[in-house]
A and B are shown apart, each in its own frame.
Chain A
Amino acid sequence: MKRRSRRSWRRLADAGFQTYLLRRLDIMNPKLIAIGCLTALLGCGFQGKLLDASAVSMTHSSLEPDETLKETGEIAEEFCPSPLAVDRYTGALDGAIAQAQKKSGADFITNASFFRNANGCIHVTGTANKIEKRATVP
């Protein structure tokens, strides 16, 4: 009988151990992979409507009694949080509102709706509004 070297025994043991692990854990089972992916999708990889709000703003906290809002147009913006950020969705609504306000020049966005799409981007729709002083009655 051919005598095996020490290296050959080690190689055989490594291969045996790997096969044993794969069989024991059954980690390559397609069903398990599918279940894992499905769980991840259903878990927090949420897609759909995040929030509806009557008004949102990143620049103003409220209106003074002598102020009113004037509609200036519709808004449909998409904000994609940086994929490199550690905590990707921290402040995603803040970013979406700030971007929409900056591009439209709005002080408030009324009838705002926020959606998260399949790419993980936040889509915001609503009406842009500028603050105006109320006309005083003489």
Chain B
Amino acid sequence: MRTRELSTLALSALGLLSSCTSHNYAQNVKTIAFDANVTKGTPLGPIRGEDCTWTVLGVTLGARPTIMQAFVNAKEQSGAVASAGFGFISKQTGNEVRYINNATTGSDGFNAYLLAKECFVVTGLGYR
């Protein structure tokens, strides 16, 4: 690989690193409700929702993860397939979370150079 291409990659990586320092928009939000009815519900225990993007050999598959989609996946209690951006395959109904207490957002994933995964993660106590 030529030096110019290497420096392009290095600069891009630096840009990404410098701007990707945080995904923790919510540290401990007491209540985030997906339903207008916020009357005390049935506790579901700790729940997690994530929105992820895979990168294979430098090619990003699908759109970048969003905090909004991570919340939607937490609400729908979507599995790994839906969290990877294929929600139309495994959409579940009837098991939806009405509201989340003590909601926290964060980032997750790994970078093995040839294969990388970047996620927004939402955790909290779910209620139906």
Residues of A at under 8 Å CB distance from B? Answer: 24-27, 29, 32-33, 35-41, 43-45, 49-65, 67, 69, 87-94, 97, 108, 110
Contact = CB atoms under 8 A, between A and B. Distances in A.
Interface residues of B, number: 39
B36 A62 contact: no
B38 A50 contact: no
A43 B19 contact: yes
Contacts of B19: 40-41, 43-45
B39 interface: yes
Overall SS of chain B's interface: mixed
Given A36-B12, A54-B35, A89-B25, 15 more contacts: A25-B3, A32-B7, A32-B11, A40-B16, A44-B20, A50-B25, A52-B68, A58-B29, A60-B30, A61-B30, A61-B101, A69-B38, A91-B26, A91-B28, A94-B27
Contact of B68 (A51, A57, A97): A51
